[in-house]
Amino acid sequence: MDQGVVLARFFYTVFLYLIMPLVMLRLLWRGRRAPAYRRRWGERFGFVPSIPEARRVIWVHSVSVGETLAAVPMIRRLQQAYPDALLAITTMTPTGSERVVAAFGDSVYHVYAPYDLPDALSRFLRRVHPDLLIIMETELWPNTIHSCARRAVPVVLANARLSEKSRNGYRRIGPLAAPMLTQLTRVAAQTSADAERFLSLGLTASQLQVTGNIKFDLELGASQRSAAALLATQWRGASHRPLWLVASTHRGEDEIVLDAFAQVVEEYPDTLLVLVPRHPERFDEVAELCRQRGHATVRRSTGVVPASTDQILLGDTMGELALFFGACDLAFVGGSLVPVGGHNLIEPAAWGVPVLSGPSLFNFSEVSGLLLAAKGMEICDSAPAIAASVKKLLGEPELRRAMGHAARSVADANRGAMDRLLGLIAGLLAQSPGKGQARR
C-alpha cells in the first residue's frame, strides 16, 4: 500500500485517539438534556454481545433518525428475503436507536456503532463478524472501511448522496478520502449528479450504480391513512380549523416560524400550528419559546387533544411525523432556514401535501428541483414570505389541492429505487463466501 496512504490514516487515527476525551465530554454535555447519551458507552468501543459464528449477518449502519427511517423499509425487505440471516443495525444517536427498537424490537441485533478506532472496530468485527456492511447515505469512516476490506467484508454505500459541500470537504482530505472510496465495494447513488461527484473524488465507474432515492418508495398503508384522517378530525375540531405543520426545525428557525405564524393568524385566527423540533433535547425550550410569544400551547406527549383556544401543538413525540404530514393541510420542512441543507421533502409529497421550504437545500437538491419544476413546492426565505405562502394556500383550496397533487405525482413517478438497491445487495450476498473462517 502507498506509504502516503498509510501515513494519512495513521495520523488520522492518532488524532481520533487524542480527541476521545473531548468526545466523551461532549456525550456528557449532551446527556444533560438527553440522558441516553450518558448510557451504553461500552458499545461505542466495540464491547457488544457476540453473535454465533455460524449465523449469516447483514450489518446495516444508519447514523440517526433520518437515515434510520429511510433504512426501515429496506431492513424489512431484507428480513423477508433472507429469513435465516440476522440483521445487525447500528446507529450513532439515541434517537436513531429508539427508532430501531420501536420498528423492530428484538427481531434484529441492535447496538451503537463503534467509534472509528482500530481496537474498537477489531473488537466489534470479531464479535459480530458481518458478511456484508450496508452504510446508509453518507456515513463514511476510513478505519471502518479499511477494517472491512481487510476482512473481505463487502461494503455498500446505499442511497448515497454527496453534496457539493461534502465533496469539497473530502477533497481537502484527499490522501485519506480517495483510498477509502476505492475500498468500497459498491456505491448506490441517489442521482446522476451524486454519481458524478463520487467519480470526481476517485471512485471508479465499476463501483458505481445510480439506483435512485429509496425514500420515494414510501408505502402508505390503509391503516396509516386511517390513523392520519382520525388525527386530522381530532385536531380540526367542530370548526374544521386549518392545520399547518412545520417539521424538523433547528435552533434559529422556530423564531422565524413563530413570526410567520403571528402574521397568518391575523387573517386565519383559528389556524393550528403543529410545530415539531428536529431534536428531542429542544422540546422544552421550544415549548417555552411558544409560551413566551403568548401562544396557547399543548404538547402532543400529554395525549390532550388541542382545544379550540389552543394555537400551537408541539410535536414532542418520536415516530409520529409521518402521520402528522398526512393529517395537515400543508407542510413547511425545516433545516432549510439555517445552513443545514434541509430534511426529507419526499414524505409530505407522498401524502399529497403542498411543500414549503427555506432556501438551504443542498442535501435535497435533486428532490427539490423535481418538486419545484412540478409546482408542488415553494421556497420561502423569510417570515413574511412564509406567511404569504401559507395564507395564499389556506385561502385557495383549489391551488392547495393542485400543488399537493403535483407533489404526489413527483413521489409516484420516482419509485423503484428500493428494488434496484435490493438487486445490487442480492448480487453481493450471492458472491459472499458465507462463514468461511479464512476471512475471520
Catalytic residue among 67, 253, 366, 378: 67
- 3-state SS string for the chain: CCHHHHHHHHHHHHHHHHHHHHHHHHHHHHCCCCHHHHCCHHHHCCCCCCCCCCCCEEEEECCCHHHHHHHHHHHHHHHHHCCCCEEEEEECCHHHHHHHHHHHHHHCEEEECCCCCHHHHHHHHHHHCCCEEEEECCCCCHHHHHHHHHCCCCEEEEEECCCHHHHHHHHHCHHHHHHHHHCCCEEEECCHHHHHHHHHCCCCHHHEEECCCHHHHCCCCHHHHHHHHHHHHHHHCCCCCCEEEEEEECCCCHHHHHHHHHHHHHHCCCCEEEEEECCHHHHHHHHHHHHHCCCCEEEHHHCCCCCCCCCEEECCCCCCHHHHHHHCCEEEECCCCCCCCCCCCHHHHHCCCCEEECCCCHHHHHHHHHHHHCCCEEECCCHHHHHHHHHHHHHCHHHHHHHHHHHHHHHHHCCCHHHHHHHHHHHHHHHCCCCCHHHC
Cα atoms found within 13 Å of the Cα of residue 65, Cβ hemisphere only = 17
67 a catalytic residue:
yes
Annotated catalytic residues are: 67
